[in-house]
Amino acid sequence: MLGEKIKFYRENKKITQAEVAEALGIKPATISKYESGLLEPNIEALKKLAELFEISVDELLKEDTFDISKINILEVLREQKNMKLKGNLYHNTQIIFSYNSNHIEGSKLTEDQTRYIYETNTLLTEKDSITDLDDILETVNHFKLVNYMLDIADKKLTEKMIKEFHKILKEGTSDGRKDWFNVGEYKKLPNEVGGLKTTEPKNVERDMKKLLEWYETLNVITINEIIEFHAKFEKIHPFQDGNGRVGRIIAFKECLKNNIVPFIILDKEKLFYYRGLNQYQTNKEKGYLIDTCLNAQDQYVEMVKYYIKSK
């Protein structure tokens, strides 16, 4: 759909509807109508849009024949990782995943700072600004975590693997210097999430074994089963902290393992995500979390289309 393409290219360029409208000499409301499909741009507007997005008019207008089911996303990500390929799917997955998953949990680093750390191994700061060292460490650790996850993505999910995810995420942080925090091991102290009580520390190992046993009994794993695993994992909340990030990396891994398009929950969607988890875990409504994850999956499909296209 033309409107979806306009929106995707605009967001990829990180420009607002108002900025596009100014470049075209039209009202922002018109750009909104373009993107929603209520109005189609004329040829002059198409030319200006193509110039602004640095693509051809044909690229905007051509029929989308991309078949995502023919792409092995795990193979693509592994290949690009090993090639150290810049500016493609793996590169941008690292940045978008780390920025959003950490930001959901309170990191103050911006997406530009996250990108700068990944691309230059240095931190972009403003004068007199103060940056939390843990935010930096957990960003770098998340890059390592994604690499490790890609290496073992096709392996069976185990407790040992999940604990290793946590260890990689939290290694070297201030939490890692607290004996009671138990990095890479299950929690020692009770915790809660969204006002809901979670599994007591003494029962975490039991509940995690039950969760993995249930998961292993499934004959077919679709995105719905992965979402359900995620909701159950977050309800257990097995670690002292870092459960959301570990849970989301597990979901990404299991999507790749089962040749399902993965999803990255964006920070701007966190309220929908939290509400969905709460409703799922309290047996009120499953659809809210499922819809949020499916919407995130659609966004990742667009990323794959943009970076892979003709493969």
Mean pLDDT, the chain, whole residue set: 93
Domain boundary among 21, 38, 61: 61
CA atoms of 260 and 243, how far apart (whole Å): 22
State how far Cα 15 lies from the chain centre: 21
Please say if the pLDDT value at position 41 is more than 70: yes
pLDDT at 131: 86
Domain shared by 35 and 76, yes or no? no
Judge if 117 and 244 occupy the same domain: yes
264 and 121 inside one domain: yes
pLDDT at 188 exceeding the cut of 90: yes
Residue that is last in its domain, among 61, 82, 98: 61
Task: Write out the residue range of the structural domain in which residue 18 sits.
Answer: 2-61
| Res. 46 pLDDT band, cuts 50 70 90 | very high
Question: In this model, does residue 310 exceed pLDDT 60?
Answer: no
For residues 252 and 35, the model is more confident at 252
Strand partners, 192: 197
Does pLDDT of 311 surpass 50?
no
Burial classification of residue 217, based on how many CB atoms lie within 10 Å of its CB (0-12 exposed, 13-18 middle, 19 or more buried): exposed
- Do residues 233 and 267 lie in contact, with contact meaning Cβ atoms separated by under 8 Å? no
- Is there a contact between 264 and 73 (Cβ–Cβ < 8 Å)? no
- Nearest-angstrom CA–CA distance, 185 and 279: 28
Q: Which of 243, 254, 261 lies closest to 212, judged by CA?
A: 254
75-104 pLDDT tens trace: 999 999 999 999 999 999 999 999 999 999
- Domain C-terminal end among 19, 43, 61: 61
Do residues 122 and 151 both lie within one domain? Answer: yes
Q: Which residue's entry shows tokens 């996303």?
A: 73
Nearest one of 301, 276, 305, 304 to 288, comparing CA atoms? 276
- How many CA atoms are closer than 13 Å to the CA of 239, on its beta-carbon side? 22
Percentage of the chain modeled with pLDDT above 90: 80
- CA nearest to 30, candidates 19, 17, 43: 17
- The answer on 124 and 26 residing in a single domain is no
Q: Are 281 and 301 part of one and the same domain?
A: yes
Q: Whole-prediction pTM value?
A: 0.80
SS in 3 state form for the chain? Answer: CHHHHHHHHHHHCCCCHHHHHHHHCCCHHHHHHHHHCCCCCCHHHHHHHHHHHCCCHHHHHCCCCCCHHHCCHHHHHHHHHHHCCCCCHHHHHHHHHHHHHHHHCCCCCCHHHHHHHHHHCCCCCCCCCCCCHHHHHHHHHHHHHHHHHHHCCCCCCCHHHHHHHHHHHHCCCCHHHCHHHCCCCCCCCCCEECCEECCCHHHHHHHHHHHHHHHHHCCCCCHHHHHHHHHHHHHHCCCCCCHHHHHHHHHHHHHHHCCCCCCCCCHHHHHHHHHHHHHHHCCCCCHHHHHHHHHHHHHHHHHHHHHHCCC
Q: Using an 8 Å Cβ cutoff, are 59 and 50 in contact?
A: yes
Same domain, residue pair 214 and 280: yes
pLDDT surpasses 80 at 20: yes
User: How many structural domains compose the chain?
Assistant: 2
Q: Which residues touch 196 (CB under 8 Å, ≥6 apart)?
A: 235, 278, 281, 282
Check which CATH number belongs to the domain holding 100 and give it. Answer: 1.10.3290.10
Q: How confident is the model at residue 2 (pLDDT cuts 50, 70, 90)?
A: confident
